[in-house]
Every structure is written in C-alpha cells, then in structure tokens.
Amino acid sequence: MPAIPSSLTLNYDAVLASTLFKYRKTLENQISSGNKFFYFIKKQGNWKKTASLGDRLGIPLMYEQGQADSYSGYDQLDTTPMDGLTMGFFDWRQASVPIAISGIEEKKNTGEAQILDLFKVKIKQAQLGLEEFFAKAFLQGAGGTSIVTPYTSAMNGSVFIDPLPLLVKYDPTSNTSIGNINQLTHTWWANQYKASGGSTFAAFEAELRHMFNNCSKGIGGPPKFHLVDQSVFEVYEAALASRHYNTSYRDADLPFDNIKFRGGPVVWDEFVPDVANGSTTQSTSSGTWYMLNPEFMGLTIHSGTDFVPTPFQKPENQDAKVAHILVICSAWISNRRKLGVVGSIDTTLTS
C-alpha cells in the first residue's frame, strides 16, 4: 500500500490554543520570578488572585490603633467607638501581548512537531516582551514623560499599573493622591524619603541606617529587601569591601545577584530610575535606594484573566492567525510609612 503523503490537515488552531494554555502558568511564573520586586511580593504571598473585580481594588488601611486602657474591679469600661480605619482604592489595569503566525510560517513548518517548535519560539518572544513591559512600567511609569505617572499607551491612550516611584514617592509632601488618598492632606499616608548628602562611605551608610530605622517604626517589622540601581549597588559593595566585610555574603536562595544590608538582600535592577531627577537614565552621581517591605505591597490579578490566552483569530485582511495573552491586575500599597526611598546618592564615592 503506498504511503500517504503528509498534508496540512491538522487542526493547528486547536493544537496551538491547547499549547498556549499549557504555557499559561509558565508565563506567569516568568513574570513573577524575572522581576526582582514581583519575586519578593510573591514570596511574601502578596501576588494575589481574585475572582471578583468590582469597580476598583479596595485595600483596607489602618491609620490609628485601638485605645487600650487599664481598669480595676467594677470600673466602667470605655465603649467609645474607634475611628482609624479607611480604604485605599486602586484602579484595575489591563495589558496584552500578541502571538501571530502567518500563513507562510504555518506552511513552511508542516507537521505538528515543527509547528510547535515555531510556536515555542513565539511564546518565548511574547514572554520576554511581557517581562520587560511589566518591569519598565512598574519601575519607570510613563518613562521620559514622568516616572510617577502610570505608563500610557501611545496607541490607544490606556494606562497600566501605578509605578513604584508613585507608590513610594521621592516627594511625599506633594499634593498627590495614591490609592485615592491625598498624601499632603493625610500625613499618616506619607512614605519615608531622604535626599542623600553623604560624601563618604561612612556618611552614606549612616543615612541608610537612619532610613532603615525610620521604616522600622510601628507594627510590621523593618524593610525586608532593598531595590537599587547598578551604580548604588556597586558603591555599597565598595563600602563593604573598604571595611573588609565579606561582600560575597549573599542569600543563595535568590535567583539574582545580591548582597546584604541589615539582614535583607540588596538587589539592583537596570530599570530603577534616578528619582531625584525624575529620569529613567541611571546616573553615576545621583543614585536611588528603595527600602521595601512586601508585607505592605502587592499585585492582585483577576483569576479569570491571569495571562489567559484568547482563541486564534484570522484578521479579515491578512494571511495570518493572531491570539493574545491577557492580564487584568492592580498594583497596590497598604502602609506607606513603612517604606522609604533615598535619592541623589553620590555614586562616585571612593572612601
């Protein structure tokens, strides 16, 4: 009996769609582990899923503690109702990345194995695009326009998640609302900040210790990790080496380069901005250090749109098939006074 010639009779739409669903969790894991900030909040448990969106994401906030008092025997107990609770509201934001296969690509890659090899490359391309998009949008906001403004699409005008330079602001006394609460009007909502003036290693480290202690006040513990730019990382490493500290003392469990400060890992990211100058360009004379506690920060994702792929569609005027990976999420913060940022760090220090 003659061999049956191969042909393009496979339902590639179904094959590709099922493969994309299998990669869905991998895509999410790559976003959360490839980005330093998201890695720490996921480790803390604040990379969350929700099945219900509502108009906005509401985060309960406590700005006063309960008024305890002593009593004796038959004393009347205080029944005064306590205030001190409010809500922060953060908008839901959406993002997508396309995966497209042209008709000629499909025909050149005949057979299920070959088409899946091509598809894996397409998925990797989408994954890398998502990773960089999340990292830049969160750390640099609108970029050259304003690092404290959410990324805005040049194509359709939509905005993405609130950026870190807004959530932990270098100027926490400005007339700015974060989570629908004005930090100028409600001073309890302001984060810690410092314009560095240290001209020696010792002075620089003294500023870091002071910021750490300010962020440690109140319930919830001290900062758990530190996010810096490359130049600050290198000058801090040099400061440790100058005192013969073992700069190789790192957390081996972390999947990226790090050193220690007060028990917490210090990591650098190429997208950390120059907060003092509002610039996305990292400066050799004006560095940035964030002291963060992932207990009070997070990313909440809609569980039905957590990197979910759409069916493949054939555009009316193209010989191609296109699917999208969709996500709906919100970046939030719950206790800003436990978080801090130091800017204008002189990274030319040598002693």
Kindly report, residue by residue over 221-275, the tens digit of the pLDDT.
Answer: 999 999 999 999 999 999 998 887 766 666 767 888 889 999 999 999 999 999 9
Name the residue among 295, 257, 292, 342 with its Cα closest to residue 138: 292
Q: Identify which of 239, 12, 262, 47 has the alpha carbon closest to the alpha carbon of residue 138.
A: 47
Q: pLDDT 10s per residue in the chain (351 long)? A: 444 443 444 455 666 667 777 777 777 877 777 788 999 999 889 999 999 888 999 988 866 555 677 777 887 877 776 666 688 999 999 999 998 888 888 777 777 777 777 888 888 888 888 889 999 999 999 998 899 999 999 999 999 999 999 999 999 999 999 999 999 999 999 999 999 999 999 999 999 999 999 999 988 899 999 999 999 999 999 999 888 776 666 676 788 888 999 999 999 999 999 999 999 998 888 999 999 999 999 999 999 999 888 888 888 889 988 889 999 999 999 999 999 999 999 999 999
DSSP-assigned letter for residue 210? H
Give me the helix-helix angle, 12-34 and 112-140, nearest 10°.
Answer: 30
Kindly tell me the sign of the dihedral angle through the C-alpha atoms of 128, 131, 136, 142. Answer: positive
Other beta carbons within 10 angstroms of residue 182's beta carbon come to: 13
> Amino acid letter at 88?
G
Q: What's the pTM?
A: 0.87
Tokens standing for residue 254: 């972390």
Residue recorded with tokens 């913060």? 333
The pLDDT value recorded for residue 1 is 42
Q: What angle do CA 273, 234, 292 make, to 5 degrees?
A: 50
Which one, of 47, 27, 28, lies nearest residue 37 by Cα? 47
pLDDT at 82: 61
Residue 334 has phi, psi (to 5 degrees) of: -125, -15
Report the interhelical angle of 230-242 vs 201-216 (nearest 10°): 110
Backbone angles phi, psi at 161, to 5 degrees: -60, 155
Predicted confidence at residue 7, as pLDDT, reads: 40
pLDDT of residue 66: 59
Neighbour count for residue 191 (Cβ, 10 Å): 23
Beta strands (DSSP E) in 183-263 are 192-195, 225-228, 259-261
pLDDT of residue 69: 74
pLDDT given at position 124: 84
